[in-house]
Amino acid sequence: KQGEILALNNLGIVAGQMGQLPAAVAHLQAALALTRQRAERRHEGMVLSNLARIYQLQDELAQALSAGEAALAIARELADETTAAYALLHLGQALGRERRWREALTYYREALEIRERLKQPYLQLEVQAHLAQALWESGARAAARAEVEQIKPYLADAGLQTAEAPAQIHAICRQILP
């Protein structure tokens, strides 16, 4: 039964990565309906976090924030730090798209703390890159550069490909450290 939820969630992720955002939303909404029908709270949080990401890519920022906050609430209720870190990242990204950098910083910092605690260095890189961007955009240029300096050793590392968004990490680093 969980297999169907995970399959729909994964189809949503892949569709999103391919830029097929309406298809991604459709798969994720179908997965969400199943999680609620089956009372699968952990999976519900995961799917909501992925929906938050897709909504922010579509510039549907109110929906992104709503889904992200719901995902974060479930993750905290269940002490699911992995989903919490993703939800925090996606909330920060949605706020960043609204240029609400100082608010985004709060979410990025908490996500970074979780990734560090869970010892997930490659997943940590994406959070650090977005944190650096938010610092840069909010005028904290030295702090942004310091974050990018921590990322630099990984930029040529083949392991970076296991990060969620290696191209985005590179682009943010190039923006801050020309």
CATH architecture of 1-101: Alpha Horseshoe (1.25)
pLDDT digits (tens, 9 = 90+) for 119-176: 998 889 999 999 999 999 999 999 999 999 999 888 877 666 666 677 888 889 889 9
* Domain locations along the chain: 1-101, 120-178
Q: What is the pLDDT of residues 28-51, one digit of tens each?
A: 999 999 999 999 999 999 999 999
What pTM value is reported for the model? 0.93
Comparing 16-25, 75-84, 118-127, which segment has the lowest mean pLDDT?
Answer: 118-127
Alpha carbon separation from 95 to 99, 115, 121, 156, 167 (Å, rounded) = 6, 20, 24, 29, 20
